[in-house]
Structure 1
Amino acid sequence: MTRTETGATSTPASYASGGRGNYDLILAAFCGLLLISNIGATKLIQFGPRVEVLGYPVLPIITDGGAFLFPLTYVLGDVLAEVYGMRKARRAIFTGFVLAALMSATFVAVDAAPPASDWPNQDAWTAVLGFVPRIVVASLLGYLAGQFLNAYVLVRLKARANENRLWVRLVTSTVVGELADTLVFCLIAFGPLGAFLGGGSIPWDSLVNYTIVGWVYKVTVEVVFLPMTYRVIAAVKRREPDYAPAG
């Protein structure tokens, strides 16, 4: 305690320790990428002319705006599971889930609120962000399935290999997690499973194209980013005072 000029005593302000690690920063980036991707996913993107091989369309490539950043959530998911384990990874996954659900509920409320008399963009808002709840439901269910499988596979493989063969668990966990994520997301967001949430479905050939392209693309991004993921994981491990290698 300290004594003031009037002779009274005062207690110094106290603050909780934030720790010396980087978990909070990785968690914030993880959730931010998830939210941005959910909004970006409302736009379908098409590359190339229509090309068929044996009657099956191989072009155009169909994806969505979430493809720009969403694969990076799996890179950070790998960092969380590899460095912090299943419990902390699960905490990050649930935090992202709650924030995405809150975002969706907020957009629904804003869309339902009466627009100002001199604001002419209600139809544009509804056309773009009015579709977000269906996208978020699809994203959340796919995200939960994919991220939990990604973390579970990585942690289980690490229990067997300890600190060795990091690339095997990174790639294997992503292949499994992204497959579940992409299937669930595509079938709900643009397929028949999401029809009860409003909106139509894209044709089956486009849906299959969209699903396969999305899965291959996301896994490819993980493989391309492996050198960076290695460096990030190594750097985070060095900066975690209480990191204990497996085994």
Structure 2
Amino acid sequence: MTNELLWGVTLVCNFGGISLAYRLWGKTGLYCWVAMAAILANVQVMKTVSLFGMVATLGNIIYGTSFLATDILSENHGKAAARQAVAIGFFSLIFTTGAMNLALLYIPHESDFAQGPMQALFSVMPRVALASLAAYGISQYHDVWAYDFWRKRFPHVRHIWIRNNCSTLVSQLLDTAVFVSIAFAGIYSWPVLAQIFCSTYVLKLLVALADTPFVYLARRWKDRGVAGGPAETLQQG
């Protein structure tokens, strides 16, 4: 299986997973998904692959679904619920980074085999960690604000595609610009930085454009009262 085909399968699996989480557990499912996505994206980003003729890192799909989650929350449950999801993701990312780096301080037993792989995955340089946290916070909070901004101007259900894309595409641009600037400026030349920026944003752009139908689907489930099952319906009542 080629990387491009596998990327498409991964895209379908992630969008299917987040839709299932919302269908079964409503906004609670999305809160759990955002926390999981924040952690997994920062693990997957350690792997470099070739995609569509570009050198790219993994993690763009699972990270992109966190924007889908906050857009669904903004659409169906309001700005406050979306901001709470961002805070949960931010907390999950900080705590996981701290907890895993604390675990690495333990002196491993002579029979241990996990210290090396764990160190490769979780022992991040302070500059990269700062870049990741800054990019996440700025882009996610912008996404929540922008979705609310565009929803006030295009409130009809048929305009979901406008508020979804106008918020997410700009937020992903901010995310890429902040991360690349903080993590790599001064390390790579400007032409290399431009290549990293372009390849990363193109993949995020594809994910962002593909997620719009799932916002419509989530809105339909919410209007029909089937998102989250009986528990969330009772809570709303």
TM-score by length of 2: 0.76
> Are 1:42 and 1:129, in contact at CA under 8 Å, matched by a contact in 2?
no
Show the counterpart of 2:170: 176
Given residue 184 of structure 1, which amino acid in structure 2 is its aligned partner?
Answer: V
State whether structure 2 residue 87 is matched by structure 1 residue 94.
yes
Change (3 A) 1:202 1:131: farther
Say which one has the larger Rg: 1
**Counterpart for residue 28 of structure 2:** 24
Q: What one-letter code is carried by the residue in structure 2 that aligns with 1:144?
A: G
Paired with 2:33 and 2:165, the residues of 1 have a C-alpha distance of 21
| Counterparts of residues 191-230 of structure 1 (less than 5 Å) | 191-192=185-186, 201-230=187-216
Match of 1:231 in 2: 217
Deviation at 1:24, TM superposition (A): 0.7
Q: Greater helix share, 1 or 2?
A: 2
Q: How far apart, CA to CA, are the structure 1 residues paired with 2:193 and 2:30? A: 33
How far apart are residue 120 of structure 1 and its match?
4.5
Q: Structure 1: state its 5+ residue gaps.
A: 1-19, 49-59, 193-200
Identical counterparts, % of pairs: 21
More contact order relative to length (CA 8 Å, sep ≥ 6): 2
Q: 1:32-86, CA deviations, whole angstroms, 9 ceiling, x for partnerless residues? A: 11211111112233347xxxxxxxxxxx512212123111111112101111222
More strand by share: 1
Residues 123 and 32 of structure 1, relative CA distance in 2, 3 Å threshold: closer
- The 10-residue stretch of structure 1 (125-134 or 29-38) with the greater mean CA deviation from structure 2: 125-134
Deviation (angstroms), 1:228: 2.5
State whether residues 42 and 135 of structure 1, in contact with CA within 8 Å, keep that contact through their aligned partners in structure 2.
no
CA distance in 1, matches of 2:208, 2:40: 19
Equivalent position SS for 2:177: helix
Query: Are 1:33 and 2:37 counterparts?
Result: yes
1:71 to 58, 61, 64: 64
Alpha-carbon distance, 1:121 to partner? 4.7
2:105 corresponds to which of 92, 112, 118? 112
Amino acid at match of 1:167: W
Normalising to structure 1: TM-score of the pair? 0.74
Opposite residue 224 of structure 2, the aligned amino acid is: R
Aligned Cα RMSD in Å?
2.5
**Does structure 2 conserve the Cα–Cα contact (< 8 Å) formed by 1:100 and 1:136?**
no
Match runs of 1:7-22 below 5 Å: 22=26
The structure-2 alpha-carbon separation of the partners of 1:84 and 1:175, relative to structure 1 and needing over 3 Å to count, comes to same
- The AA in structure 2 aligned to 1:219 is L
* Number of residue-to-residue matches in the alignment: 205
Q: 1:21/1:111 Cα in 2 relative to 1: closer, same or farther (>3 Å)?
A: closer
Cα 1:237/1:65, change in 2 over 3 Å: same
Q: Is the 8 A contact 2:160 2:215 kept in 1?
A: no
Question: Structure 2 stretches of 5 or more lacking a match?
Answer: 1-23, 228-232
Contact 2:150 2:166 in 1 (8 A): no
